[in-house]
Amino acid sequence: MSASDESNEIVFGQTAGLGGAGSLREADWPNPARGMFDTVDPVPGASKPDPILVASDVSRSFGGIRAVSVERLEVQRGAITALIGPNGAGKTTFFNLLTGFDKPDSGNVMFDGETASGQASYKLAIKGMVRTFQLTKVLARMTVLDNMMLAGQQQSGESMFRGFIRMWGGQEAGVREKALEILAQFNMTHMSGEFAGSLSGGQRKLLEMARAMMAQPRLIMLDEPMAGVNPALTQSLLEHVKRLRSEGISVVFVEHDMDVVRDISDWVVVMAEGEIIAEGTSDMIGSNQAVIDAYLGSSHASLTEQILTGHIPDVEEVEAGLAEAAELEAAEIAAFEAETGPIEQVGESSDD
């Protein structure tokens, strides 16, 4: 039995984020992205019918290492796009470049028809591109409600002068109401008075997502929203992401868990070594040779394919797969040596 089957059997209780989501069903959140990608070529850099975010020739190097080198990426409006790739593929760096938290060495990012590269991150957030972080950044010594209210946009009381002369009472009431409304959607109303620092890891993820929603995004960028979250809460977070989509918000998210990716993403973008190596629906990605090679090297083909298509192998299968891979590798080396002579070991390879 796979992990996803198990998590579906959990009966949701009345803890944070679970009760509300437990009552959600996918039928309640129609997928407006259905059919959007029918005409899209599943190739890297494919053009989309209505892109909200376009990156072209974006590159970023740290010292001599080229962390990101993306020729073109278009993100479809109103859909959920997953960004996957092995560790060190440059996903988070690319995320930072898109959201203004880092500046690309070259290239151009367009957000909804406007140039986004070179703009300060806070300006992009105001324009509707709101991100979350891989390591949750809740404001620990502020209450959950204050965390939420902070995210309200265009608050006149945030001007020093107008804050001072207290020209914000009416607006503040509206912001509070909105914050409580979103907290209720996430079933966190009972925690609104607690310090965010006293929440558990999963609750922090929920709060961060709720807070991002409070900022009224048009495009929400989630960096590993499910990392370190238990399966039941993952299910709840997934429902929330689907709800975002049904409300017309575009979603980009970085994720490692292929079950999650297959469950909610309309389109999958695969990165490896800083480049986009494949795009497509999750079904296409599972059998894409470039993706399989990137994840486990060319010799681990069958094992990788199983993982990417959602099959969790048991120990014997993994051992068998690894043994098969070792044989293939030995054969490749032998073939290579037969052509070019014996390989000398010269320390660590430097092209990593």
Contact residues for other proteins, defined by CB under 8 A = 99, 101, 120-123, 125-126, 130-133, 137-142, 146, 149-151, 153, 155, 157-160, 163-166, 168, 172, 175, 195, 197-198, 211-212, 215
- Which residue's CB is nearer to other proteins, number 82 or number 151? 151
Of residues 193, 93, 217, 77, the one with CA closest to residue 145: 193
Rounded CA separation 256/148 (Å): 28
- Which residue's CB is nearer to other proteins, number 28 or number 158? 158
CB crowding 216-255: b at 16 or more within 10 Å, else e: ebbbbbbbbbbbebebbbbbbbbbbbbbbbeeebbbbbbb
Bridge partner residues of 48 (DSSP): none
- Which residue's CB is nearer to other proteins, number 29 or number 195? 195
Task: State the minimum distance, in angstroms, from the CB of residue 127 to other proteins.
Answer: 8
Task: State the minimum distance, in angstroms, from the CB of residue 186 to other proteins.
Answer: 17
Rounded CA separation 321/35 (Å): 37
Task: State the minimum distance, in angstroms, from the CB of residue 111 to other proteins.
Answer: 14
- Which residue's CB is nearer to other proteins, number 9 or number 177? 177
Could you give the strand order of the β-sheet that contains 250-254, starting from the edge strand earlier in sequence? 129-131, 219-223, 250-254, 80-84, 267-272, 275-280
Rounded CA separation 80/31 (Å): 10
Task: State the minimum distance, in angstroms, from the CB of residue 266 to other proteins.
Answer: 24
According to DSSP, residue 281 is labeled -
Q: Strand pairing of 219-223 and 250-254?
A: parallel
Task: State the minimum distance, in angstroms, from the CB of residue 128 to other proteins.
Answer: 9
Task: State the minimum distance, in angstroms, from the CB of residue 155 to other proteins.
Answer: 5
Task: State the minimum distance, in angstroms, from the CB of residue 3 to other proteins.
Answer: 27
- Which residue's CB is nearer to other proteins, number 213 or number 301? 213
- Which residue's CB is nearer to other proteins, number 167 or number 323? 167
Task: State the minimum distance, in angstroms, from the CB of residue 76 to other proteins.
Answer: 23
Rounded CA separation 74/108 (Å): 12
- Which residue's CB is nearer to other proteins, number 122 or number 177? 122
- Which residue's CB is nearer to other proteins, number 29 or number 133? 133
**Cβ atoms 83, 91 nearer than 8 A:** yes
Residues whose CB falls within 8 Å of the CB of residue 198, separated by 6 or more in sequence, listed in order: none
Rounded CA separation 228/191 (Å): 21
